Structure 1
């Protein structure tokens, strides 16, 4: 599985990335390693993550989210079902699931 995620930084900015191991990646963001952006702004919390079937899909989804405005990203966080429906209408894009927490 591959994950595309949005996290909130301590300065209230949003960061989008993708990974194969969401728990490891969140630990890295918390420690301030492997990301200049979150190292300088600090990690606050995971807002949402999407599970994709392939690395290619996760990267495409990351790119699509990064092209959005802050307002649009907040809308994705609040209404992920709407976002996924739009993706399905635009192209043959599969998001397996999404969640707002990590166990």
Structure 2
């Protein structure tokens, strides 16, 4: 039996309505970690957080590339990106 690990680029909406983008290979655990105050420094003061978007990739490099590209966008472009990809 072959097991294939998944790599995720994800976007969280923080309690102050800002976005946080990241990478993980276990999405549910990572969101729980953020909400437990043990995630990124940025989200600690802005919890609770909600996962509002994610993409799955076969490799870590692809997921991290998507994360980096997303972080280069302006807020309005981020919103449009998530809407476009969700359709």
TM-score interval for Structure 1 and Structure 2 normalised by the shorter chain: 0.7 to 0.9
Structure 1 unaligned regions, length at least 5: 83-103
Shift of 1:76: 1.6
Paired with 1:81 and 1:8, the residues of 2 have a C-alpha distance of 16
1:71 aligns with 2:64: no
SS at match of 1:47: strand
Which deviates further from its counterpart, 29-38 or 9-18? 29-38
Q: How many residues align?
A: 82
Contact 2:13 2:19 in 1 (8 A): yes
Contact 1:7 1:43 in 2 (8 A): no
TM-score by length of 1: 0.75
Greater share of helix: 1
User: What residue is the counterpart of 2:55 in the other structure?
Assistant: 50
Structure 1 segments, 4+ long, off by >4 Å, are: none
Give the alignment's Cα RMSD to 1 decimal: 1.3
Paired with 1:30 and 1:78, the residues of 2 have a C-alpha distance of 24
